[in-house]
Structure 1
């Protein structure tokens, strides 16, 4: 009987071990794909509509662009066979294309397909002004030769052609979407194809017929969580393999950095591409007054805000272009100086019995916005309460974006990431104006940015920069930013580096020059 019980116990233990082994194998199989997590849902995979980093991140793995910016910061052919060939008058750009490249649906990538994609973007793209302001026409000169006819010479066009928004899509698969967005599908030429899509999870698998370097992994599950705490918990409990830093609370970001320092995680960081700033509506008093806006530019202690809001992880910024894009140190906005601010406000009749009140709107679903707003308000109470007060109003970000161009906000906290790594990708979306009345912008990107501010000389310099190259062009764009600083319609606050953390058995995340993780380089040990 004792022997029988012993045998039974051995069988029970063996059964449990077998079950655990099967579960382990099952879990391993489930984690064959690398799970990458970020915040927020992805509602559309159409490159003509994409305007969030999380969407651009997955599109960068599903598609290719004509050119990329390499590690040295130079233009490098991708789908293009060679660098653009520009005519003597600067109005014609010929782009030879690589051959033997296919879309995920099996159709051939050629000049017709590239022209279809660019024209489709020009027609329905959310950022179509990027092309329409420059391009007169797109011609197919040969099966693998594309010609772009410009309205006027444009030195920025080559950099623009690195934008993920301009990744080509298959004309066969998008024949019914020439004039509308194809939100739930994507058919491109990239290293991965889209296996499944919903707004909370996207699964991509290596494309066997990919023309370039193959992915080092067997696929990516791209998961979108609703908030920072869920993201933070998922990487700590190893539910996900890689965590992208967008929308992670700064305290949690600091904790993850410390875990990486202790060798509990791996981490990777890209060049800073996201700027945080405050927009002032400049077409209505009191912020129509340039002296008042100038005074406000002296009222913000960026170093204090960086420490109190982000524990130093967000770098104080005194420009509206990431510094590395100017290739030199450049800080046209003034440092914090409450005494100068007070003197300027006094010249306009404020201080003492007359207090200037500024309503500041922050995006209620962006944690750093609220902390920034509270810190600035308390700093003003401490140093300038005799002249200025800040009142706060939290509104969900989607509503903020919808109402910006309606002039709904006196002052609002925003952020911006350029569509491609070039100063113009920051200056034009904030400053460009097509119709001016003195310094009030009536039509143009300055309206959509919520500032309604423009400057004739600035517009001339922006246009002139398109005729210049190299150092001359960068110096001209620096003049543009100096005028923007003098105008005071924007108040830059901080600069954010894209960052990602991975589990110990996953390779260190690598970033491209446009601030996106190179997903195909992620590898499980």
Structure 2
């Protein structure tokens, strides 16, 4: 497609998404009006239903959580007036709410409204309701005070209270779900209580309020909430528009039709170009703390990766710096832990590149000298960095360890990988993980948690089929320990996992955003959400 036609195609799409005139879309729009581009439609804004990152990002600016995380990872009260009070046995958490906060409809935030939202999140059966499954009861004990009783002590619970999905919405915003299926937008938000949040009916306490929404979830118009309890939003209006692919997003920002580009779904090539433009002063750029980890998952229950020595050899044969440079253009940074380095508990316990040691381990296991180990490696074919990583590693091994190890690579769509991973379909596969809320356990438990095992083989839990009694005990111990003791336990746990090598960490990634140079205030909060309320010209 010629460049002029290509530009006209995505411009027409953007105008259609905004539902406004081309003049309003142009870079000459009011200084108080910003257009933010992102990828993918938003299916639901019901906090008890939403699970997509893009949905939670919007909820975060339309509402407030009880707490937020500072840049240093400290818990900061938001709707809460003070830190949570935890009983000596760790089973009762008391929260006092901030006085004077109002919802967008003018009703006051109180303990009853907060309890309603927490109970609905816990009981509704949404994708993330398991986050509160260990909360035995939620009780209103005063106009601005509520108490949560836990079934067992849980150290990460404080950080869980910063999760964006726990933002309150008053009961009056909901309505009975229709039985006739007339409104697909409303029906899609139905959960167990029979109540639905109208598609354009989000009522929160945040710096912006929702004033309109396209039926397909591709455009949301926000206006500044004048009665916001904290610092008012800088811009009077924000249009959040959703585009389908990296090329459309990249082109929209380059042409000035979008003021801010919020997307970690851009191809590495586009991200690198924008970073270079930002370095030259043509755009502004910001990144979140590292939150996403990319790992190699090894099937430890079958040959050849059932041998610990073989897994340890693979860990020493991974050229992280080379892969970061060639496959991600340096946008992702090497990682030798299953916990990103934003946490003090992160320990680089996985070995560095050591080809000589890898060769020794493989030789001791009976390989090399005409008998190379054959390993199958599956990558996600629709993730550009995965394919480059696989090819680069395959080439590196052939050049530096070809007498001892040969690697066959195969690409499959992400949906297939995620569907088949825990069924034992892959010998070694790459995938990424980002938690629902930031806490070290939220990286470790999903990867090594095991519900049922036979000896050292996990039968119900993860896709690496690895179980270690000591690691399992350490994982449980850290749940009810004070911070200093917990850090020591988490360090010991990481050492244990690194010795067993069910996973090999590759790199850590960040969410990124870019804006026109005329826009200031671009930045992320400590939980990794873009601060839309600080954006302005």
**How would you bin the TM-score normalised by the shorter chain?**
0.7 to 0.9
Farther-moved stretch of structure 1 (389-398 vs 290-299): 389-398
Larger Rg: 1
Aligned counterpart, 1:230: 248
Q: Relative to structure 1, is the Cα distance of residues 135 and 231 closer, same or farther in structure 2, using a 3 angstrom cutoff?
A: same
What runs of 5+ residues in structure 2 fail to find an aligned partner?
A: 1-20, 177-189
Give 1:72-87 correspondences, 5 Å limit: 72-87=72-87
**2:431 and 2:25 mapped to 1: Cα distance?**
45
**2:465 and 2:118 mapped to 1: Cα distance?**
30
**1:48 and 1:407 mapped to 2: Cα distance?**
32
* C-alpha deviation, 1:149, in angstroms: 0.9
* C-alpha deviation, 1:44, in angstroms: 3.2
* C-alpha deviation, 1:65, in angstroms: 0.7
**2:457 and 2:498 mapped to 1: Cα distance?**
16
Aligned counterpart, 1:10: none
* C-alpha deviation, 1:335, in angstroms: 0.8
**1:454 and 1:174 mapped to 2: Cα distance?**
45
Check conservation: 1:107, 1:172, Cα contact below 8 A.
no
3-state SS in 2 of match to 1:93: strand
Render the CA deviation track for 1:107-141: whole Å, top value 9, x for unaligned: 44322332232233333232333332x42222222
3-state SS in 2 of match to 1:511: coil
3-state SS in 1 of match to 2:139: strand
**1:26 and 1:491 mapped to 2: Cα distance?**
46
| Residue 300 (1) aligns with residue 318 (2) | yes
* C-alpha deviation, 1:357, in angstroms: 2.9
* C-alpha deviation, 1:213, in angstroms: 2.2
Aligned counterpart, 2:417: 400
**1:486 and 1:203 mapped to 2: Cα distance?**
51
Aligned counterpart, 2:509: 496
Aligned counterpart, 1:17: none
* C-alpha deviation, 1:488, in angstroms: 0.9
Match among 352, 365, 375 for residue 382 of structure 2: 365
**1:207 and 1:147 mapped to 2: Cα distance?**
29
Render the CA deviation track for 1:367-403: whole Å, top value 9, x for unaligned: 1111111111211222222232222222222333233
3-state SS in 2 of match to 1:433: coil
**2:299 and 2:22 mapped to 1: Cα distance?**
59
Render the CA deviation track for 1:453-495: whole Å, top value 9, x for unaligned: 2322122112211221222211211111111211211111111
Aligned counterpart, 2:362: 345
**2:362 and 2:450 mapped to 1: Cα distance?**
29
Check conservation: 2:25, 2:257, Cα contact below 8 A.
no
Check conservation: 1:44, 1:183, Cα contact below 8 A.
no
3-state SS in 2 of match to 1:309: helix
**2:22 and 2:244 mapped to 1: Cα distance?**
29
What runs of 5+ residues in structure 1 fail to find an aligned partner?
A: 1-21
Render the CA deviation track for 1:150-195: whole Å, top value 9, x for unaligned: 1222222111111112222332334544517869454332222232
Check conservation: 1:436, 1:456, Cα contact below 8 A.
no
Check conservation: 1:247, 1:366, Cα contact below 8 A.
no
Match among 193, 199, 204 for residue 209 of structure 2: 193
Give 1:406-445 correspondences, 5 Å limit: 406-444=423-461
Give 1:212-231 correspondences, 5 Å limit: 212-231=230-249
Aligned counterpart, 1:35: 35
Check conservation: 1:461, 1:477, Cα contact below 8 A.
yes
Aligned counterpart, 1:472: 485
Aligned length: 497
**1:477 and 1:174 mapped to 2: Cα distance?**
42
Give 1:57-96 correspondences, 5 Å limit: 57-96=57-96
**2:412 and 2:497 mapped to 1: Cα distance?**
27
Over aligned residue pairs, what C-alpha RMSD do you find?
2.5
* C-alpha deviation, 1:208, in angstroms: 3.5
| Residue 114 (1) aligns with residue 114 (2) | yes
Check conservation: 1:249, 1:367, Cα contact below 8 A.
yes
3-state SS in 2 of match to 1:413: strand
Match among 250, 260, 265 for residue 242 of structure 1: 260
3-state SS in 2 of match to 1:257: helix
TM-score, with length taken from structure 2: 0.86
Q: Relative to structure 1, is the Cα distance of residues 165 and 240 closer, same or farther in structure 2, using a 3 angstrom cutoff?
A: same
